[in-house]
Amino acid sequence: MPVNLSSPRAADLWAVPGVRLGITEAGVRKANRKDLTVILLDEGSAVAGVFTRNRFCAAPVQVCREHLSQGEGIRALVINTGNANAGTGAQGLADARATCDAMAGLLSLKPTQILPFSTGVIMEPLPVDRIVAGLPAALAHAQADHWAQAAEGIMTTDTLPKAYSVQVPIAGVPVSITGISKGAGMIRPNMATMLGFLATDANIAPKLLQALTTELADGSFNRITIDGDTSTNDSFIVVATRKAAHPPITSLSSTEGQALKAALMQVARQLAHAIVRDGEGATKFITLQIEGGQTAQECRQVAYAIAHSPLVKTAFFASDPNLGRILAAVGYAGIDDLDQTRIDLYLDDVLVAVQGGRNPNYQEADGQRVMKQSEILVRVLLGRGTASDTVWTCDLSHDYVSINADYRS
Amino acid sequence: MPVNLSSPRAADLWAVPGVRLGITEAGVRKANRKDLTVILLDEGSAVAGVFTRNRFCAAPVQVCREHLSQGEGIRALVINTGNANAGTGAQGLADARATCDAMAGLLSLKPTQILPFSTGVIMEPLPVDRIVAGLPAALAHAQADHWAQAAEGIMTTDTLPKAYSVQVPIAGVPVSITGISKGAGMIRPNMATMLGFLATDANIAPKLLQALTTELADGSFNRITIDGDTSTNDSFIVVATRKAAHPPITSLSSTEGQALKAALMQVARQLAHAIVRDGEGATKFITLQIEGGQTAQECRQVAYAIAHSPLVKTAFFASDPNLGRILAAVGYAGIDDLDQTRIDLYLDDVLVAVQGGRNPNYQEADGQRVMKQSEILVRVLLGRGTASDTVWTCDLSHDYVSINADYRS
């Protein structure tokens, strides 16, 4: 059961001028599944991406990096589920390239104008023939208002499709921002989402897009974690079709640049949160806010130590205010000169620990009340400085084990 | 169900001349539980310890470090279960000291000759009055042949007591080595055991004991992990009563020093493995052997990335040879210049992946056969050098979640 998340309604998702999406059943792994999605971009679109830092990155990630660096103008994305084309060696690379070749042939483009994405089981050969055979049907299905269907088309163990959309005025001109994401396990920063696609018709200078994309990822997908596993395939792509009729944005610090960035961040963060809310087996959405650090980096370290502790995560699942487990995680986060006698811990508004010990006024009933909520804020005050950072995560339940023990069955 | 582990038989555990052990029910947390253990050491014993690196270390750990550094000659250990006396601030320190004061009073020793240990729930006040009240009964019960009872006395979520014992000749004189350990969750290197006590009557120069203890910990308790959580209380203590009639060992590189070290390591490793075999919810005992690294350190990094991946651990639980998850963990272990095309992966004798891709001759049935075993060897060949290292871990099952969601109930 996802935590406070519902299926996006197609009517709530703005079409983005210059973007069309088509979905079909290619039979990649199982029959009767929408498992192949294409996203077509008009000429003149700017595209940037951030990818997994896993050294065992999948073949499509390697091909995406290559094609983006060649700068021929990306015109289409091909996304299959059911198979990640990772741990597949030289054959996997050849298969990812074959997908691009076939798509380029159908659209009279160069293969380097296509980006391939795969998600699903690792280390099984990609059934590239079935993907190639499915491309014409996906193309025939492509329409501007298929965002909700595309959100479904890229799902794997997700229980709900994930999409979010806003429209904002830029210099008085309405600009659309719509995105979809997928991922429910093997989620950890750098990157967190297994796949995320964000598109806008804003007219932004192409040279600004890569820095903006990195910043968006750092404020959203790179701040979530479910199980600490960094996927081989994580990809976050931002597209700007530049069709909106406002004057071009040439600086991110201009009024228009800031407005666009804020709106894009809102969408990216909603998509990232949706992944946590639909985290495998998740029953709670937890915000870890670490304050009073010397650096934001050490705050993140503490946040991730808490977020990745199976003991903390199972205590949240049980609604058990066994909060010493949080202090223990703070202690092993790797800050060598941490002084435990300066640490305070809040659960929402409840002050649980003061100066490293139990708050004398703390009542277990108060902790219990917060632990039963579906949304919980954990605040740790390190008492070392003024830096802070935030990470979002979920609990660890029986269903996480069931889902991952049965995933391939 | 522990993995290939059974209760130690009292008759298999050698008494160690100069060591007596007493156990009683002090009612620390629940009634009718053996929750207080004392270990009494004859005068002249040498004692060394290795403790948690968690910055949120418990009060007794702080007191142990103090008392060991004062060098007054440790004569007694006091161990309570049911309460970890961690996250208890200044009161916790006072409580740990009060325990030592009371024990010293009963034995006409100095408080600095006592080492306190606590294990159990974090961040609840230690019921020090009940512990102090229980000390006379524990002392009255003390005998040299109570190792098996002591192994039971220090259990928390352990399902079985853990003890191991050998007798070896040193310069022709039989020397006894007996140890006990406890711990089943919140287990991670530095330190891995929550509590481990090893005693020998070998006559070893006291100045050698600290280095030897560190080496023993590094080869045993610091090479196991269950859930990646480093406890606030982990303590590993080695006692040498020096009563054996062989000439004193004054160098660890002498024939006698090496023989003693090997025998101590055997016992320490058995005690560490027992903790993994009894890991919370464990159904499989997994050896991760990483070879071909540039340094042992990077081999350990890879081993821990695999050992801590919930996705890998649930796949082992399911006996599902979803082995791409192992490659993914290798990829995010943090070796920046890792070349995935040089990596081979074996499951026992089955070559699963070659040069980063699936071995063309690999049959899933072969992987499946190994995954169904209760003891599994995972070998990763990094192809970067000649260093190697080994870590032991277990799988992640439904029972892990149940145990930790219900622990305090």
Query: What digits encode the pLDDT tens for the residues A346-384?
Result: 999 999 999 988 899 999 899 999 999 999 999 999 999
pLDDT at B187 exceeding the cut of 70:
no
Contact B325, B339 (CB under 8 A): no
Q: Chain B residues with CB inside 8 Å of A317's CB?
A: 401, 405
* Closest to B329 measured CA to CA, from B346, B354, B352, B311: B311
Specify the CATH number for A285-406; select among 3.10.560.10, 3.40.50.970, 3.10.20.340, 3.90.180.10.
3.10.20.340
pLDDT at B191 exceeding the cut of 80:
no
Question: Across residues A105-115, what is the average pLDDT?
Answer: 98
Architecture, CATH, for domain A10-277: 4-Layer Sandwich (3.60)
| A323 interfaces chain B, CB cutoff of 8 Å | yes
A311 and B230: CB-CB below 8 Å? no
pLDDT at position B227 is 64
- If one counts every other C-beta atom within 10 angstroms of the C-beta of residue B337, the result is 7
Query: In Å, how far are A155, A378, B156 from B284, measured between CA atoms?
Result: 32, 34, 21
Q: Å from A124 to nearest chain B CA?
A: 7
Least confident of A185-199, A236-250, B197-211: A185-199
Q: Where are the domains of chain B?
A: 10-277, 285-406
B229 and A405: CB-CB below 8 Å? no
The closest CB to that of B87, out of A121, A229, A358, belongs to A358
What order do you get walking across the sheet with B19-24 strand by strand? B19-24, B36-41, B76-83, B114-121
| A298 interfaces chain B, CB cutoff of 8 Å | no
Q: Give residues with Cβ within 8 angstroms of A294, minimum separation 6.
A: A384, A385, A387
B357 and A315: CB-CB below 8 Å? no
For A60-97, what is each residue's pLDDT tens digit? Answer: 999 999 999 999 999 999 999 999 998 888 999 999 99
Q: How far apart are CA A154 and CA A137, in angstroms?
A: 16
pTM assigned to the model: 0.82
Catalytic residue (choose from B193, B213, B230, B393)? B193
Q: Chain B residue with minimal CA distance to A231? A: B328
Q: Chain B residues with CB inside 8 Å of A96's CB?
A: none
| B336 interfaces chain A, CB cutoff of 8 Å | yes
Optimal mutation site among B52, B53, B54, B55, interface A, most CBs of chain A within 10 A? B55
| A341 interfaces chain B, CB cutoff of 8 Å | yes
Optimal mutation site among B225, B309, B311, interface A, most CBs of chain A within 10 A? B311
B358 and A123: CB-CB below 8 Å? yes
Question: Across residues A8-17, what is the average pLDDT?
Answer: 94
Q: Chain B residue with minimal CA distance to A317? A: B405
| B84 interfaces chain A, CB cutoff of 8 Å | yes
B311 and A227: CB-CB below 8 Å? yes
Question: Across residues B162-170, what is the average pLDDT?
Answer: 96
Choice between A225 and B247, residue whose per-residue pLDDT is larger: B247
The one-letter code for the residue type at A152 is E
**Between vectors from CA A332 to CA A326 and to CA A335, what angle results, nearest 5°?**
115
Task: Indicate the SS3 state at residue A323.
Answer: coil
Dihedral-angle region of residue B32 (phi above 0 means left; psi in -120 to 50 means alpha; beta otherwise): left
Name the percent of chain A lying above pLDDT 90: 73
pLDDT at position A66 is 97
**Do β-strands A224-225 and A195-200 pair in parallel, antiparallel, or remain unpaired?**
unpaired
For A285-315, what is each residue's pLDDT tens digit? Answer: 999 999 999 999 999 999 999 998 888 888 8
pLDDT at B192 exceeding the cut of 70:
no
Residues A264/A270/A275/A279 CA torsion (nearest 10 deg):
160
DSSP β-bridge partners for residue B288: B378, B391
So which residues of A are the catalytic ones? Answer: 193
Q: Chain B residues with CB inside 8 Å of A118's CB?
A: none
A357 and B90: CB-CB below 8 Å? yes
- Rounded to a whole number of angstroms, the distance between the first and last alpha carbons of chain A is 21
| A408 interfaces chain B, CB cutoff of 8 Å | yes
Q: Å from B140 to nearest chain A CA?
A: 34
Q: How confident is the model at residue B190 (pLDDT cuts 50, 70, 90)?
A: very low
Report the run of H or E that residue A317 belongs to, with start and end: helix A310-317
The closest CB to that of A56, out of B336, B340, B408, belongs to B340
Task: Annotate chain B with three-state secondary structure.
Answer: CCCCCCCCCHHHCCCCCCEEEEEECCCCCCCCCCCEEEEEECCCCEEEEEECCCCCCCHHHHHHHHHHHHCCCCCEEEEEEEECCCCEHHHHHHHHHHHHHHHHHHHCCCHHHEEEEEEEECCCCCCHHHHHHHHHHHHHCCECCCHHHHHHHCCCCCCCCEEEEEEEEECCEEEEEEEEEECCCCCCCCCCCCEEEEEECCCECHHHHHHHHHHHHHHCHHHECCCCCCCCCCEEEEEECCCCCCCCECCCCCHHHHHHHHHHHHHHHHHHHHHHHCCCCCCCEEEEEEEEECCHHHHHHHHHHHHHCHHHHHHHHCCCCCCHHHHHHHHCCCCCCCCHHHCEEEECCEEEEECCEECCCCCHHHHHHHHCCCEEEEEEECCCCCEEEEEEEECCCHHHHHHHHHCCC
Q: How confident is the model at residue A43 (pLDDT cuts 50, 70, 90)?
A: very high
**Between vectors from CA B205 to CA B202 and to CA B211, what angle results, nearest 5°?**
100
Q: Chain B residue with minimal CA distance to A339? A: B55
Q: Å from B93 to nearest chain A CA?
A: 11
One DSSP character per residue, A113-155 reads: GEEEEEEEESSS---HHHHHHHHHHHHHT-BTT-HHHHHHHT-
Optimal mutation site among B304, B308, B325, B393, interface A, most CBs of chain A within 10 A? B325
Q: Å from B330 to nearest chain A CA?
A: 7
Least confident of A327-336, B190-199, B372-381: B190-199
pLDDT at position B409 is 40
B residues 44-63 closer than 8 Å to A (CB): 53-57
- Rounded to a whole number of angstroms, the distance between the first and last alpha carbons of chain B is 21
Q: How far apart are CA A181 and CA B99, in angstroms?
A: 56
Q: Which of A54-58, A276-280, B141-145, B354-358 has the highest mean pLDDT?
A: B141-145
For B7-36, what is each residue's pLDDT tens digit? Answer: 999 999 999 999 999 999 999 999 899 999
**How many residues are given for chain A?**
409
pLDDT at position A194 is 79
Q: Chain A residue with minimal CA distance to B87? A: A357
For A216-234, what is each residue's pLDDT tens digit? Answer: 999 998 888 776 666 678 8
A89 and B356: CB-CB below 8 Å? yes
Optimal mutation site among A51, A53, A123, A400, interface B, most CBs of chain B within 10 A? A123
CA B104 distance to own-chain centroid: 27
| A4 interfaces chain B, CB cutoff of 8 Å | no
pLDDT at A23 exceeding the cut of 70:
yes
Q: How far apart are CA A199 and CA B285, in angstroms?
A: 47
DSSP assignment letter at A89:
H
Q: How confident is the model at residue A1 (pLDDT cuts 50, 70, 90)?
A: confident
Q: How far apart are CA A176 and CA B366, in angstroms?
A: 52
Indicate the average pLDDT of chain A: 91
Residues A107/A110/A115/A120 CA torsion (nearest 10 deg):
70
* Closest to B265 measured CA to CA, from B214, B334, B324: B214
A317 and B125: CB-CB below 8 Å? no
Q: Chain A residues with CB inside 8 Å of B342's CB?
A: none
